[in-house]
Amino acid sequence: MTHEGSPLTIGVLALQGDFREHLHVVSSLGEKAVTVRRAAELDEIDGLIIPGGESSVMDKLSRTFELAEPLKAAIASGLPVYGTCAGLIMLADRILDGMAGQQTLGGLDVSVRRNAFGSQRDSFEEDLDVPVLDGEPVHAVFIRAPVVDEVGPLASPLGTLADGRVVAVEQGNLLGTSFHPEMTHDYRFHEYFVEKVRARRA
């Protein structure tokens, strides 16, 4: 176990998707960034980021590599996990329009809808007020993004679009955003997650 003040070891699930961008962000924040592809690697990390990508492919690969059940166990045991875009879908307890047989890891008491805003051509950007983050609004990039249709009693919304749709949520050690903060130079959501990880390690 590392001592207080030393860099955290933040894993990024590297089965598919834009995991390299998250590795860069974590490193830029002064923490140790490592890829996670095997169950044994979960024992070596303080927190985990599940990146954007294709949630149905991530689901299949996590089961193929016998990683899904260990991930569920780690989440249940309190491992801090941050899911962006497809990662949010993976953390949701309920998926409303999944592919046939698609499963999630669960943990977040939310219902999500995949590709809620249309195809990649319908990608957009919007400034969001996020009260838990100090400073100016968050400039959020949405690419084939999911939306949180329902927030259960165990979860809390952190940010909404102008029309009220929820696009950022948290529940205990879990954090999820519909958008891609790794694609901007505003890393406050990553910093917020790192603080969750540091608090748990302390």
**For the residues of 47-93, what is the DSSP string, one character each?**
EEEE-SS-HHHHHHHHHHTT-HHHHHHHHHTT--EEEETHHHHHHEE
Q: What is the mean pLDDT of residues 99-113?
A: 95
Give the separation between CA 65 and CA 158, rounded to whole angstroms.
Answer: 33
Give the separation between CA 26 and CA 70, rounded to whole angstroms.
Answer: 23
- Select which of 31, 41, 182, 190 is catalytic: 182
Q: Which domains does the chain have, with CATH numbers?
A: 9-201 (3.40.50.880)
Q: What is the mean pLDDT of residues 22-47?
A: 97
70, 37 in Cβ contact below 8 A? no
Q: What is the mean pLDDT of residues 27-45?
A: 97
Query: Residue 1 pLDDT more than 50?
Result: no
Q: 63-67, 96-100, 143-147: which has the highest mean pLDDT?
A: 63-67
Bigger pLDDT: 134 vs 155? 155
Alpha carbons within 13 A on the beta-carbon side of 114: 19
83, 176 in Cβ contact below 8 A? yes
pTM: 0.94
| pLDDT for the residue 3 | 42
Amino acid at residue number 125? E
Residue 24 annotated among the catalytic residues of the structure: no
**pLDDT (tens digit, 9 = 90+) per residue, 144-177?**
899 999 999 999 999 999 999 999 999 999 999 9
Average pLDDT, the chain: 94
Say how many Å lie between the first and final Cα of the chain, rounded.
Answer: 11
Q: In which band, very low, low, confident or very high, does the pLDDT at 131 lie, cut at 50, 70 and 90?
A: very high
Backbone angles phi, psi at 29, to 5 degrees: -85, 0
Question: What angle is formed at CA 143 by the lines to CA 30 and CA 188, rounded to 5 degrees?
Answer: 30
- Select which of 180, 190, 191, 195 is catalytic: 180
Give the separation between CA 35 and CA 199, rounded to whole angstroms.
Answer: 22
- Select which of 85, 126, 136, 139 is catalytic: 85
Amino acid at residue number 7? P
Question: Which of 4-13, 49-58, 80-89 comes out lowest in average pLDDT?
Answer: 4-13
DSSP state of 20: H
Q: In which band, very low, low, confident or very high, does the pLDDT at 117 lie, cut at 50, 70 and 90?
A: confident
